[in-house]
Structure 1
Amino acid sequence: MSEFEKVDILAIGAGPFNIGLAAMASTVDDVDILVVDSVPEFRWHTGMMFEEAKLQVSFLSDVVSLVDPTHPMTFLAYLADVDRLYPFLVREDFFPTRREYEAYLLWVVRRLNTLRFGTTVNSVVWNEEQGHFEVAVTTNGAVSTIVAGHVVVGVGTEPTIPPALATASPALIHSSEYLFNQEAAHKAGAVTVIGSGQSGAEIVVDLLEANLNGGPAVQWWTRTPWFAPLDFTKLSLEMTTPAYMDYFQSLPEETRDKVRAGHWQFHKGISTDTLARLHDLLYRRELKDKLQPVRLRNGVAVEGLDTLDDGRLRIRGRHRDTGSLLAHTADMVIAATGYRARSQHFLAPINELLHRDSQGRPVVANNHSVDADNGLSGKLFLANAESHAIGVSAPNLDIGAVRNAKILNSVAGREVYRLQRNTAFTSFGVGDEEVLE
């Protein structure tokens, strides 16, 4: 240890992607990495950890397998270590529950000595003369400096509530906090869920099960034209492969933005299993009397929430097809309204060096590094903050290992990890031999 702690890579944020980066770096002798996070310990989506909720990707989408299936930290290695390999085989389900995937991630965390929790990044400064970053961090109240050749920003996302739902009322909660408020929701007289992605659907399933047992009235509003399924058909999924990611990154900015608008069903839809469960619960209600009412409304845009004198909320919306104004009241409103990129305030000292596109977003190269001035290009990488550049794959667990392999190969200056050459049957680009003169 010198005056400053020195590493080749400092990864900011200890989510699945940077945990995976640390796992893949653990078998590379000449690349030192440190992953820091301000939270005291790793936890994953605790407010939505329903017992039966499954991942929407295969177990092969662990932190290493899709680049190196022989790595010692694969999901299969985890199953073998905890004596669950044969039960998993007999289960015949490639999709682990979220709870089991979190247990796997915790297993990986325990095997790494390159993760440091309870550490907040204050600022990231680029020293052009020395060709490295100087990163000020605070750990247990003590401020120190980490010198890093490269920085990977993977601070993830945070819950967002749109302005139309803004209220100081405690009767409004975000879906990410649902399980912490589940008991109150089940005891309420009426609950409204706004938003029809997977999170909203899982919460409605839970509320319908409670409704069948004498629980609350339930309303479910979404602005989408229908309660749409996730597009997980075979050739559609090729849009989430590395082949498409590379093609998308090669497109002009204006084209990328136009194409992205059509990809909403990859991340805003509902799994077919969940849709089937929803319909089954609605059907079973038909066989019982004296239940609290349930109403599903699609194509409704919420225009505001009003807090009433008794503490209840009045939800106002507009039916998008007819323009009709709608309103109802609820004891609790759950906003399944998604997430936004978390603030990267610590990058303020280098913001002026980073290249931006016409929308003010970082210009990201194929290896996930940010284009920049003063020798900074190729030194700062983004993880799950570059969907504008690489497309729908950015937040997907099944792209994490590929992204991390590109980062490690770039840092090492050689092919530390070999990337798959053929990842899709679809030809996304246009070959020169196909173009008519």
Structure 2
Amino acid sequence: MSQAAPHGATPVYDLLGVGFGPSNLALAVAAHEHNGGTGAADPVTAVFFERQARFGWHSGMLLSDATMQVSFLKDLVTLRNPTSEFSFLCYLKDRGRLIDFVNHKTFYPLRVEFHDYLEWAAAKVDDVVHYGHEVTAVAPVVREGVVEAFDVTVRHVGGSSSYRTRNLVVATGLRPQTPAGVEASDRVWHSRDLLTNVGRLDGADPSRFVVVGAGQSAAEVTAFLHERFPAAEVCAVFSRYGYSPADDSSFANRIFDPAAVDDYFTAPSEVKTMLMNYHRNTNYAVVDTDLIDELYRRSYQEKVNGVNRLRLLNVSRLTAAREHQGRVVVTVETLTTGEVSVLDADVLICATGYQPVDPFPLLGDAARHCHRDGFGRPVVQRDYRIRTDASVLAGVYLQGGTEHTHGITASLLSNAAVRAGEILGSIVANLPVDRPLSAPVSVGAGVPG
């Protein structure tokens, strides 16, 4: 997928991906297929950088019995190219489980299995990925008043290196969000770090956990801790009266269709708001019905037996949390009465969601060429390219952080295959006809690591 530059020159890539989760993995696969797998006469040259040491996608929540909430057909490729060798079905065939999966009669594989599929796909394009490499700076390359490319500084174990690209594709994922005034620590975790941290408690005989949040992750964490630590009390704190079921009905699921992106993008702002409000219950702060039923079953069984380890503190909110003598003192307010309760816990887990990462700090000087709306958000075109000044020929594309323009699927796996195809198509359509493979080495540029 990449070509070598002449000795003493900096390679100029057609696209450089920042981050290598499912979104940019889907893009790498799309580029691989565009190039004919083993190379084409005029291939798209690509390179991707991921700060993690290896591929990983929400690894801290890979609970052994958790299933995907999206159909396996919405994998990295199928909605873009149903005949792709990178499909989930091809993965199953390669792993020797295709017939077993068919007999399982489900559209929703285990999350650990789907993660293994993603790792399998990532390994097939690992020649264009650099793990343990973090993009730290982006600088516009200007010639005769025109921004033709970007020089990208990448930090790694060996120091730092400089890469040049005609297009930047930013897919840095989401930032964990915790309640105001609460910061992660050894005793305060975000749900994404559950499995990373929970092993430290083995043999410690914890007596109480507090889980804050009303969505799928919060419910999964609550169920997991309740089962993993049979002597501990698990207190679930959320502002709703009860866990709300996810709307995964057939008509509602059309909000995840590729065509829905077109509808949303062209809709007036008030219609965008209306659609998001109508269909938030397909994805945000909602829980699979089976898991709701399981938690209710456990709660009722404990009432019958007179042992209440699972405490559901509904219509409540966390107001404070402080560590004291190896514990966490959690203050909870009941919203209906204003009554305040103090819980002394071993660990507080915040399953309180994520926020998009602002791309502008990473873009540095290049950001001043990017257009913003009245809320300071990037103005993003239908092809996921940020609108820039007319003097900018190089492209900046976003995978994530485009809900305000593209709707609910902006960063979701549901549309990853089609989104990657659209971004690659835009990049290919805008490439210079006689593009050089390299440029003179920039001052201070290092050797690619």
1:201 match: 219
Secondary structure of 2:34's aligned partner: coil
Q: 2:240 aligns with which of 213, 224, 230?
A: 224
5 Å-filtered alignment, 1:17-416, equals 17-29=23-35, 30-112=43-125, 113-129=127-143, 131-166=148-183, 170-183=186-199, 184=201, 187-210=205-228, 213=230, 215-253=231-269, 255-257=271-273, 259-265=275-281, 266-289=283-306, 291=307, 293-308=309-324, 310-342=325-357, 344=359, 345-376=361-392, 379-413=395-429
1:258: how far off? 5.6
SS of 2:90's equivalent in the other structure is helix
Partner residue, 2:18: 12
Structure 1 length-normalised TM? 0.87
Aligned to 2:442: none
Q: What is residue 440 of structure 2 aligned with on the other side?
A: none
Distance 1:262 1:317, change over 3 A: farther
Offset, 1:378: 7.3
In structure 1, the gaps of 5 or more residues are 415-437
Work out the CA distance in 1 between the residues paired with 2:30 and 2:132: 23
**Alpha-carbon distance in 2 for matches of 1:169, 1:363:** 36
CA contact (8 A) 1:193 1:219 kept: yes
CA pair 192-153 structure 1, distance change in 2 beyond 3 A:
same
State the Cα distance separating 1:59 from its structure 2 match: 0.7
Post-superposition offset of 1:147: 1.8
Q: Distance in 1 between matches of 2:131 and 2:276?
A: 35
Question: CA offsets, 1:265-285, max 9 Å, x none?
Answer: 222211112112212222332
Distance 1:354 1:377, change over 3 A: farther
SS in 2 for 1:224: coil
CA drift at 1:22? 0.4
Q: Please list the CA deviations of residues 305-329 of structure 1 after superposition, one character each: whole Å capped at 9, or x if unmatched.
A: 2434x44333223333344434333
Return 169-178 or 108-117, whichever deviates more: 169-178
> Contact (CA 8 Å) 1:128, 1:375: kept in 2 or not?
no
TM-score scaled to structure 2, two decimals?
0.85
Which range moved further: 122-131 or 42-51?
Answer: 122-131
Distance 1:209 1:140, change over 3 A: closer
2:206 partner letter:
A
Give the letter aligned to residue 214 of structure 2: S
Q: Offset of 1:253 from its aligned partner?
A: 4.2
CA distance in 2, matches of 1:354, 1:337: 31
> How has the CA–CA distance of structure 1 residues 293 and 119 changed in structure 2, closer, same or farther, with 3 Å as cutoff?
closer
Separation in 2 of the partners of 1:245 and 1:355? 21
Aligned-partner Cα distance in 2 for 1:157–1:271: 22
Shift of residue 78, structure 1, vs aligned partner = 0.8
Amino acid across the alignment from 1:63 = L
Instruction: Judge conservation of contact 1:126–1:376 (CA < 8 Å) in 2.
Output: no
SS of corresponding position for 1:400: helix
Sequence identity percentage: 29
Q: Deviations over 1:375-423 (max 9, x none)?
A: 4377111001211211111122110111111111111229xxxxxxxxx
Asked whether the equivalents of residues 123 and 349 of structure 1 are also in contact (C-alpha less than 8 Å), the reply is no
- Displacement after TM superposition at 1:302 (Å): 1.7
- CA contact 2:252–2:279 (8 Å) conserved in 1: no
8 Å Cα contact 1:192/1:330 also seen in 2 = yes
Aligned-partner SS, 1:40: coil
Between the aligned partners of 2:149 and 2:393, the Cα distance in structure 1 is 12
Task: Please list the CA deviations of residues 29-85 of structure 1 after superposition, one character each: whole Å capped at 9, or x if unmatched.
Answer: 232221111222112222111101111001111111111010111111111111111
- Whether the 8 Å CA contact 2:149–2:393 is kept in 1: the answer is no
Using a 3 Å threshold, how does the CA distance of structure 1 residues 144 and 378 change in structure 2: closer, same or farther? closer
1:157 Cα offset (Å): 1.2
Give 1:128 shift: 4.0
- Secondary structure in 1 matching 2:25: helix
User: What amino acid does structure 1 have at the position aligned with 2:419?
Assistant: R
What residue ranges of structure 2 are gaps of 5+ in the alignment? 36-42, 431-449
Instruction: Give the counterpart letter for 1:43 in structure 2.
Output: G
Q: 1:242–1:402: 8 Å Cα contact kept in structure 2?
A: yes
Q: For the residues of structure 2 that align with 1:128 and 1:255, how far apart are their CA atoms?
A: 40
Residue 334 (structure 1) shift: 0.9
Instruction: Tell me, yes or no, if the aligned pair for 1:208 and 1:281 is still in contact at 8 Å.
Output: no
The letter of the residue matching 2:180 is: P
Report deviation, 1:262.
4.4
Measure, in 1, the Cα distance between the counterparts of 2:131 and 2:198: 29
One-letter code of the match for 2:373? D
Q: The residue matched to 1:191 in structure 2 has which SS?
A: strand
Per-residue deviation, residues 175-217 of structure 1 (Å, max 9, x unmatched): 1111233352882111111101111101111122246x4x211
Amino acid at match of 2:371: H
